[in-house]
């Protein structure tokens, strides 16, 4: 987590770095800082809080000039979020400044050694240790900054994306990456450094994405020099042209990114199946699957690894894969999988699902799977991300940038993509009739319009939100394909409104959660016509008899649940396997409106970060 931004060029760095940090706040937002060099002094400004607090402080202290600058927005790992622990950190001499996204695991032993050599430390961070290690090597070995960084990084254990400058050489920034993302924007006579391309997209479309264990010397008037950290060997710098545009990373009139992203879903789902779903030809085209068809068809099982919302998409995929393809599927939390000595064989296909493509646990899980001979297929949103690159093959969801910390369109597009994969495999394996396959394709194509229709219930959902916004607990129930949706609905509410919520399989309610039900407890029940409807209706009766409040997510025209529920939200009818794409939408809106009504920071909920690059 943490967002890093740097600028080196002829313009004032301050506005570029601040704006860049605002765009990266999704990566962490408990403290922020900036360092600028104006030819005389390296001026540092740091504060607990958000980038807007940093802006206020920097402007009141006149720290706004200089054409080389580094900025950081933090999600604390080592040391509580406060002014001192915020980045950037300076070396003891004050010559070197560093920003860092990641963790240096062996910082304790390095710190002790440096203390013996007379270094003092002001913060509790691992990063301050790293910058002093670099300084120590630079002085001891009498080497240039780049070389000192390379030697230092060979001594550290952990993960990092760093940018360092030396104020005695203000035409150069040294950057390096292992495990955390780092992009270098290459402009006309200027360079940008950032955790992703969003801070520099209005200045340049050309970017270099460093690979793990690479570093780069970014110097004015020179091409970027990329080197391998291990052996200092030079590597060709690959400059790629970005497809991103500014509209995709701005709110475009919406109050929050989350709301914008909820409303983008019809479009995003279309973008996911565009070119792949070929209804007229009666086929699904996916090169990543076609090229590796044998791997999938001969697999003993599919293991899905993911975290958070992506794990919920994995659960939906389990249902659809087992239902349509008849391949056994296991869905694992990546963080458990990587440490529990799982049985993995070369007959396993591992699907890693990740919006960011950077989640540390998911990345580690696929590395483990690869070591054990499994075939790894990545389902990512962010193009060129670490998980996408680490996988043997994969497919992108093409949902566009997701900035709201609570994931919305990433979830529905992951389900869309995984459904396409399942359908393609089912067809290749001869497990689905031509008629059923065609029905699925047609229905998939109709989903964006149906999602659009569900979005029309926004005002109604807003009203329901006003009724329940002050309750302390919520329960979400669903069966079959809608059980993972119940989990996702509860997660969304917890994440952004801080109301305690639990998602449960509807029938399991009687084994525990039913004890919680009284007249205060709202229970969101997903009770669509296809999907064990009668059984869910019985569960609703059980809640009713205990005076619980019912919010039903029902199929258009439903009468039975309507007669029992306090409120219902209708969704159009579709094939059972695709219902999560519709039933999820009202749950996203419900959590959004409740959070707004409770004055919560919807896009940046406390303690969370969009991209979790630490374990
Ligand atoms: C964080 C985010 C979640 C996300 C999870 C997995 O916790 O706040 O929204 O679902 O990471 O992220 P990934 O990028 O791997 O899907």
pLDDT in tens, 310-341: 999 999 999 999 999 999 999 999 999 988 99
Work out the average pLDDT over 32-39: 94
Please state, as a whole number, how many other Cβ atoms lie within 10 Å of the Cβ of residue 520: 13
pLDDT at 78 > cutoff 80: no
- Percent of the chain predicted with pLDDT > 70: 100
For residue 571, name the pLDDT band (cuts at 50, 70, 90).
very high
Task: Output the ligand 1 site: residues, CB below 6 A.
Answer: 307-310, 354-356, 359, 362, 405, 407, 608, 610-612
Please state, as a whole number, how many other Cβ atoms lie within 10 Å of the Cβ of residue 133: 25
User: Residue 248's pLDDT is what?
Assistant: 81
pLDDT in tens, 291-304: 999 999 999 999 99
For residue 252, name the pLDDT band (cuts at 50, 70, 90).
confident
383, 361 in Cβ contact below 8 A?
no
pLDDT at 100 > cutoff 80: yes
Which residue is it, tokens 């450094």? Answer: 193
pLDDT at 610 > cutoff 90: no
Q: Which of 262-271, 355-364, 480-489 has the lowest mean pLDDT?
A: 355-364
pLDDT at 230 > cutoff 80: yes
For residue 514, name the pLDDT band (cuts at 50, 70, 90).
confident
**Residue located nearest, by CA, to atom 5 of ligand 1:** 308
* DSSP-derived pairing of the beta strands 348-354 and 375-380: parallel
For residue 107, name the pLDDT band (cuts at 50, 70, 90).
very high
E runs forming strands in 221-340: 225-228, 234-235, 240-241, 277-278, 283-284, 301-306, 329-333
d(CA 432, CA 321): 12
- DSSP assignment of 104-154 equals ETTHHHHHHHHHHTT----SS-HHHHHHHHHHHHHHHHT--HHHHHHHHHT
pLDDT at 484 > cutoff 80: yes
- Which ligand 1 atom sits closest to the C-alpha of 382? 14
- Which ligand 1 atom sits closest to the C-alpha of 406? 9
Work out the average pLDDT over 253-277: 96
- Percent of the chain predicted with pLDDT > 90: 82
- Which ligand 1 atom sits closest to the C-alpha of 308? 10
Residue from 29, 334, 359, 491 whose mutation best tests the ligand 1 pocket (most atoms within 8 A of CB)? 359
Residue from 307, 352, 409, 609 whose mutation best tests the ligand 1 pocket (most atoms within 8 A of CB)? 307
For residue 17, name the pLDDT band (cuts at 50, 70, 90).
very high
User: Residue 243's pLDDT is what?
Assistant: 81
pLDDT in tens, 119-140: 999 999 999 999 999 999 999 9
Work out the average pLDDT over 357-370: 94
Alpha helices in 195-286 (DSSP H): 257-263, 265-273
pLDDT at 79 > cutoff 80: no
Residue from 333, 338, 355, 362 whose mutation best tests the ligand 1 pocket (most atoms within 8 A of CB)? 355
Q: What's the mean pLDDT when you consider all of the chain?
A: 94
User: Residue 251's pLDDT is what?
Assistant: 87
Work out the average pLDDT over 522-537: 90
For the chain, the C-alpha Rg in angstroms (whole number) is: 25
User: Residue 607's pLDDT is what?
Assistant: 83
User: Residue 400's pLDDT is what?
Assistant: 92
**Residue located nearest, by CA, to atom 7 of ligand 1:** 308
Work out the average pLDDT over 498-520: 90
pLDDT at 418 > cutoff 90: yes
Both tokens of 445, joined, read 């194509």
What structural domains and CATH numbers belong to the chain?
3-244 (3.60.20.10), 251-455 (3.40.50.10490), 456-604 (3.40.50.10490)
User: Residue 246's pLDDT is what?
Assistant: 79
* H-run or E-run covering 60: helix 51-60
Residues 6+ apart with CB under 8 A from 77: 1, 103, 126, 614
Query: Which residues does the annotation mark as catalytic?
Result: 2, 610
User: Residue 35's pLDDT is what?
Assistant: 97
For residue 392, name the pLDDT band (cuts at 50, 70, 90).
very high
532, 319 in Cβ contact below 8 A?
no
* DSSP-derived pairing of the beta strands 500-505 and 191-194: unpaired
Distance from the CA of 395 to the center of ligand 1, in angstroms? 18
- Which ligand 1 atom sits closest to the C-alpha of 405? 8
Both tokens of 231, joined, read 């052996």
User: Residue 249's pLDDT is what?
Assistant: 82
- Main-chain phi, psi angles of 18, to 5 degrees: -65, -45
Work out the average pLDDT over 25-46: 90
For residue 228, name the pLDDT band (cuts at 50, 70, 90).
very high
Please state, as a whole number, how many other Cβ atoms lie within 10 Å of the Cβ of residue 428: 17
**Residue located nearest, by CA, to atom 15 of ligand 1:** 354
User: Residue 40's pLDDT is what?
Assistant: 83
Distance from the CA of 164 to the center of ligand 1, in angstroms? 28
d(CA 590, CA 188): 46
* DSSP-derived pairing of the beta strands 225-228 and 214-219: antiparallel
For residue 609, name the pLDDT band (cuts at 50, 70, 90).
confident
Work out the average pLDDT over 152-162: 95
For residue 385, name the pLDDT band (cuts at 50, 70, 90).
confident
pLDDT at 1 > cutoff 80: no
User: Residue 9's pLDDT is what?
Assistant: 97
């Amino acid at each position: 987590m943490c967002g890093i931004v740097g600028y080196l060029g002829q313009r004032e760095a301050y506005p570029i770095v601040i704006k860049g940090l605002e765009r990266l706040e999704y990566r962490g937002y408990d403290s922020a800082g900036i360092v600028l060099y104006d030819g005389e002094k390296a001026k540092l400004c740091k504060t607990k809080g958000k980038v807007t607090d940093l802006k206020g402080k920097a402007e009141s202290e006149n720290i706004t000039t200089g054409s080389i600058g580094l900025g950081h927005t933090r999600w604390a790992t080592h040391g509580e979020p406060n002014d001192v622990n915020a980045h950037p950190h300076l070396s003891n001499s004050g010559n070197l400044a560093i920003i860092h996204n990641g963790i240096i695991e062996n910082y304790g032993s390095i710190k002790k050694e440096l203390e013996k050599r007379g270094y003092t430390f002001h913060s509790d961070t691992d990063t301050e240790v790293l910058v002093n290690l670099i300084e120590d090597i630079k002085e001891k070995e009498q080497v240039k900054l780049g070389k000192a960084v390379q030697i230092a990084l060979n001594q550290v254990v952990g993960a990092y994306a760093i940018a360092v400058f030396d104020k005695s050489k203000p035409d150069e920034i040294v950057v390096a990456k292992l495990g955390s993302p780092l992009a270098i924007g290459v402009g006309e006579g200027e360079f940008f450094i950032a955790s992703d391309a969003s801070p520099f997209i209005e200045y340049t479309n050309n970017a270099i994405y460093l690979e793990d264990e690479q570093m780069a010397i970014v110097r004015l008037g020179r091409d970027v020099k990329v080197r391998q950290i291990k052996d200092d060997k030079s590597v060709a710098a690959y400059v790629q042209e970005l497809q991103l545009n500014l509209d995709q990373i701005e709110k475009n009139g919406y109050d929050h990114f989350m709301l914008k992203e909820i409303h983008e879903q019809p479009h995003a789902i279309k973008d996911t199946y565009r070119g792949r779903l070929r209804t007229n030809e009666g086929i699904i085209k996916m090169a990543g699957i076609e090229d590796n068809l044998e791997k999938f068809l001969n697999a003993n099982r599919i293991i899905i690894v993911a975290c958070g919302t992506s794990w919920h998409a994995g659960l939906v995929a389990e249902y659809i894969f087992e239902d349509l393809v008849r391949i056994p599927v296991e869905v694992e939390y990546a963080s458990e999988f990587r440490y529990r000595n799982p049985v993995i064989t070369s007959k396993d296909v591992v699907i890693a699902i990740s919006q960011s493509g950077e989640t540390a646990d998911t990345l580690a899980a696929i590395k483990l799977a690869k070591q054990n001979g499994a075939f790894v297929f990545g389902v990512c949103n962010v193009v060129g991300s670490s998980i996408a690159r680490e996988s043997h093959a994969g497919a992108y969801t093409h949902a566009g940038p997701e900035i709201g910390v609570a994931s919305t369109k990433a979830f529905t597009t992951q389900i869309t993509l995984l459904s396409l994969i399942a359908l393609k495999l089912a067809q290749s394996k001869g497990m689905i009739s031509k008629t059923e396959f065609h029905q699925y394709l047609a229905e998939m194509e109709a989903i964006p319009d149906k999602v659009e229709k569900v979005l029309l219930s926004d005002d109604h959902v807003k009203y329901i939100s006003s009724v329940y916004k002050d309750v302390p607990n919520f329960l979400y129930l669903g069966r079959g394909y809608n059980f993972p949706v119940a989990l996702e609905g509860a997660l969304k509410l917890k994440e952004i409104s801080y109301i305690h919520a639990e998602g449960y399989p509807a029938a399991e309610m009687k084994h525990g959660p039913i004890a919680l039900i009284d007249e205060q407890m709202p229970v969101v029940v997903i009770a669509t016509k296809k999907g064990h409807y009668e059984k869910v209706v019985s569960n609703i009766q059980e809640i009713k008899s205990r005076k619980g409040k019912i919010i039903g997510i029902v199929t258009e025209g439903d009468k039975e649940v309507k007669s029992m529920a306090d409120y219902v939200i209708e969704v159009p009818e579709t094939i059972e396997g695709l219902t999560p794409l519709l039933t999820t939408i009202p749950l996203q809106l419900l959590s959004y409106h409740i959070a707004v009504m409770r004055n919560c920071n919807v896009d940046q909920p406390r303690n969370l970060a969009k991209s979790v690059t630490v374990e």
